[in-house]
Amino acid sequence: MEEVAGAVTATHEGVALFQKGDWKSALQIFLKVKTEDSKEILELAYYTGLCYAKLKLFAEAQPYLEKYVQEAQNKVRVYQCRMTLAYTYIMTKKAKKAQYELTMLVNSGFESTQLYVTLAYAAWSQQSYANAIEWYERALRLDSNNLTALNGLGFILADIGKDTKKGLRFCRRAVDEKPDNPIYLDSLGWAYYKDGKIPEARKYLKRAQEKDPDNVSIQEHLKIVERTT
């Protein structure tokens, strides 16, 4: 009984640190807690997984988040953990697993812009462009001004040559709202390139590189454009 009480107290201390944004200290506490209480084990899995994810230790987060979504009954938390788990899968290049978790949410009746844009990104990662376009369009039906969806859909439409003019318009809208975002600048520059407008492409890709000089994708796009006469 004392062991359970001690575990609960320690968990509460960790949760307080987690809520303050001190994820490293919270994680250290959660990892030290020893308990055989099934409810407490799930609580620890939930917070431990989220701490690892917050610290960008995505592979380490996965077994804890997997345990929670498989065993927990709290629908709101399961939704949160599936979304987080899908993100960790994407970041560790496990797009199929990400898609599975997100599809489970869709099949459960959940609907959100974030869910759809994450599904779109997972589809794009697998070069499933038609599915990616569909998910981005569904996201925009929920929120026509969602910048992530506008940028993602615009990039794909231009990149695969499906509708470069429309792709340019969507990318332009994202940049108009956030002119210093390197991802949006990169997408707009690439859309201009795909539309045959090299000076504009070079202009925006250079701006993107200035904002994020270590981004490999931006570097590759700029090299291609620079080679174009």
Residue 161 inside a domain? The answer is yes
Residue 202 inside a domain? The answer is yes
Q: Which residue has the tokens 């640190």?
A: 17
Residue 213 inside a domain? The answer is yes
Q: What is the CATH number of the domain that holds 172?
A: 1.25.40.10
CA–CA distance, 83 with 86 (Å, rounded to integer): 5
Residue 196 inside a domain? The answer is yes
Neighbours of 131 (CB within 10 A): 16
Residue 151 inside a domain? The answer is yes
108 pLDDT band, cuts 50/70/90, is: confident
Reading the block at residue 202, the tokens are 């070079």
Residue 185 inside a domain? The answer is yes
Residue 201 inside a domain? The answer is yes
Residue 177 inside a domain? The answer is yes
Give the per-residue pLDDT at 8: 65
Least confident of 5-9, 54-58, 152-156, 198-202: 5-9
Over residues 5-29, the pLDDT tens digits come to: 455 677 889 999 999 999 999 999 9
Give the per-residue pLDDT at 3: 47
Range of the structural domain that residue 214 is part of: 145-229
Helices 58-71 and 38-54: crossing angle in degrees, nearest 10, is 150
Give the per-residue pLDDT at 225: 96
Number of domains observed in the structure of the chain? 1
Mean pLDDT over the full length of the chain: 93
